[in-house]
Amino acid sequence: MGVKERQEREREAVGRAILDAARELFVTYGYQEVSIRKIADKIEYSPAAIYGYFPSKDDIFFALAEEGFRLLFSYAREQERPPDEDPSERLRRMFWRYYQFSKEHSEYFALMFIDRSVPRIRDHWDRFGFVGQMKHDMVSRVQEAIEAGACPADTPPHTVFRLLLTAAHGAATLRLCDRLAPGEDGDMLARASIDAALLGLRAGAGRDLQLPNYPCGDRLPIDSEDTRHDS
């Protein structure tokens, strides 16, 4: 291995250590309570060394958020399915995988969706344009399921997306925030919530719900509501 290659690997390893330490600290203490010095202390580096990798604490968060979104959408990608699969099952699987992401990558989920003190991604959209495109791809798959009979044909696909996302997100947040009742099973709650939303949508719920309907494209914005993001 050459000197340059070794230096690049060492730099990648330190960058990874910074991100891993920051993610753990942000989730444990809250974004606002963590300083660059605290991150540096955790990996036994100087604060000045951290700035050699990331210009600010916000940049560390954005790097983590980008990783988190790419992980999230890797869960949401279309999987091979039987040609005669029920279209409702297609939707059920899509949003169940969102819940699975919250279990298997709980630190990313908590940082991206629960900590309200983190920087607003929508103010730095040039870095996260891929999120809008990926969301558009998911909404397109929802539209395909509607056309296949999962919901009434006049149901807006974005409405279906939002209602099913809300069902999965609610159960995920209750579990992560330790708000489940004693003996309550978070997985069963998530499945039941998604199923209940699907039944309501099939019966015509949500068709009159007014939601932003953004155009497609590389600059597709995140919804304007007061959230960290709308994936």
pTM summary value: 0.84
Q: What is the pLDDT of residue 48?
A: 94
Q: What is the CATH number of the domain that holds 49?
A: 1.10.10.60
**169 with 228, same domain?**
yes
CA distances from 162 to 50, 154, 207, 223 (A): 38, 16, 12, 11
According to the model, what pLDDT value does residue 219 have?
A: 36
Structure tokens at 227: 């959230």
Average pLDDT over residues 200-217: 76
Higher pLDDT, 29 or 80: 29
For residue 81, the domain's CATH number is: 1.10.357.10
Give CA–CA dist 182/205, Å, rounded.
31
Band of the pLDDT at 209, cuts 50, 70, 90? confident
Is the domain of 121 the same as that of 228? yes
- Nearest-angstrom CA–CA distance, 70 and 90: 21
Residues 16 and 78 in one domain: no
**Residue 68 shares a structural domain with residue 43:** no
Q: Is 190's pLDDT higher than 80?
A: yes
Q: Which of 36, 55, 74 is the last residue of a domain?
A: 55
Residue 227, domain extent: 61-231
Say whether both 149 and 93 belong to one domain. yes
Claim to verify: residue 44 and residue 70 sit in the same structural domain: no
Q: What is the pLDDT of residues 104-141, one digit of tens each?
A: 999 999 999 999 999 988 788 778 888 888 888 999 99
Are both 213 and 125 inside the same structural domain?
yes
Find out whether 39 and 25 touch, Cβ atoms under 8 Å: yes
For residues 86 and 42, membership in a common domain is answered with no
Q: Is the pLDDT of residue 1 over 90?
A: no
Residues 26 and 45 in one domain: yes
Phi, psi of 143 (to 5 degrees): -60, -40
pLDDT of 231 reads 40
Q: What is the pLDDT of residues 70-88, one digit of tens each?
A: 999 888 776 666 667 799 9
Whether residue 97 sits in one domain with residue 17? no
The answer on 70 and 37 residing in a single domain is no
- Domain termination site, one of 55, 71, 101: 55
Which pLDDT score, from 0 to 100, does residue 85 have? 79
Tally of domains within the chain: 2
Q: Round the average pLDDT of the chain to a whole number and report it.
A: 88
Domain identity same for 42 and 74: no
